[in-house]
Structure 1
């Protein structure tokens, strides 16, 4: 398929894991992809491999909590590819996340965490949307943690959901759609690092579909929401979670 031929997409946090899966899939469907991440070594590798596979990609270092860094990302993308059509706000502190309670987490760490995991999506969207030229689409990375007890990680995802819905209203007049994906438990290196094995086993037992998800399980939802197949879909949070969350 070539739904994204001639389009340019920025994917933050795409040097590995789920973000890398999104970036590779977009490139495979014809998009010019900017691999935006703090990890230059891995990010460069992903971009080079996409090009080697026949796609179009470039790496740009970005700190999504920084307005200046987000502005530089936009300038790089426009200079490199001429425009911006799609944005995936995937970057997050996760693989090395500290586990703590809202009542006891060190305040400086909490503020840094929220500046990336919640505010980062807004920072990058504010930088990108003027370049979308009255059209485009944005996908934010949420989580089913927004509907479960998950401490400050879940709180950040509640914020991402609210941000998605508010921006859908503010940007609708500019013909920009904003949606979010809420993954359930996904088998990534980061999840294996953060979540104890016994907790993972208990989560899988409770799922109607008795397995962990994979990054590949999320790709179809992301491409759908970004594409014209979803041209009348905005302000939605789509669970891709093996049936973990039931909402009426």
Structure 2
């Protein structure tokens, strides 16, 4: 029960890794705000957490909107009394367009970057003062090993997010708020199965030192460590959880 009496927000918590984060935090004692743009998915996750004895609240949230993020923060205070922990997980991934930088529709590109990169900053700006009121907190931003490869706007967004993690860690550290990132490699989720062709996924897995696809629990384990007091002197870092996909000095 590492997070007993803590209040956590998880964006994009209606499915996949975000859902796994929300459920894991609830199991370890946190009250969880399920911030999700899909009302159906968000309500389902929150209700199922409550149904198993946990505390959860669904708030329909568009992380690209400062107004929506402000409402998210206000609802967390209204129902649970504040915010201690934040996981910026929301992203456009399942079903995303795979087009070149020179050809992708610019309005789509702008929307994509607002969600996948700037959303973490927008939600952090909305909640960090609430963390300060409770003595500090911890934030984890969901990156990707794609950040370490050349490629399209998804990779660019995650590279930018890593830089945002570093910048926020420097600014929020004096306020006793730690900011880190998790960069999953290929992970067994519905989004991966529907967005990555099977032959491409198998080719990728064959190059990994650990030779298997990741599970959501692999990612959850690292994220919860970074949120916990066990990582109390860790900030500004993005940890690759990827079976060895990214090997760097």
TM-score range, shorter chain: over 0.9
Distance in 2 of aligned mates of 1:5 and 1:195 = 37
Give a deviation string over 1:81-110, Cα, whole Å, max 9, x none. Answer: 001000000000010200011111111100
Cα offset, 1:42, TM superposition: 1.2
TM-score normalised by length of structure 1: 0.98
User: Equivalent residue for 2:198?
Assistant: 197
**Unaligned residue ranges in structure 2 (runs of 5+):** none
Cα offset, 1:142, TM superposition: 0.3
* Matches for 1:107-186 after TM superposition, within 5 Å: 107-133=106-132, 134-186=135-187
User: Equivalent residue for 1:83?
Assistant: 82
SS in 2 for 1:58: strand
**Unaligned residue ranges in structure 1 (runs of 5+):** none
Moved more, 186-195 or 76-85: 186-195
Give a deviation string over 1:22-63, Cα, whole Å, max 9, x none. Answer: 000000000000000011111111111111111111100000
Distance in 1 of aligned mates of 2:127 and 2:179 = 13
User: Equivalent residue for 1:74?
Assistant: 73
User: Equivalent residue for 1:227?
Assistant: 228
Distance in 2 of aligned mates of 1:6 and 1:74 = 17
User: Equivalent residue for 1:217?
Assistant: 218
Cα offset, 1:150, TM superposition: 3.3
Distance in 2 of aligned mates of 1:243 and 1:183 = 10
User: Equivalent residue for 1:245?
Assistant: 246
User: Equivalent residue for 1:93?
Assistant: 92
Cα offset, 1:187, TM superposition: 1.3
Distance in 1 of aligned mates of 2:43 and 2:14 = 8
Distance in 2 of aligned mates of 1:224 and 1:185 = 20
Cα offset, 1:149, TM superposition: 2.6
User: Equivalent residue for 1:24?
Assistant: 23
Cα offset, 1:214, TM superposition: 1.3
Give a deviation string over 1:199-229, Cα, whole Å, max 9, x none. Answer: 1011000001111111111011010000101
Task: Give the RMSD, CA atoms, in angstroms.
Answer: 0.7
Cα offset, 1:194, TM superposition: 1.2
The number of equivalent residue pairs is: 247
Give a deviation string over 1:186-207, Cα, whole Å, max 9, x none. Answer: 1111111111111101100000
Distance in 2 of aligned mates of 1:150 and 1:7 = 38
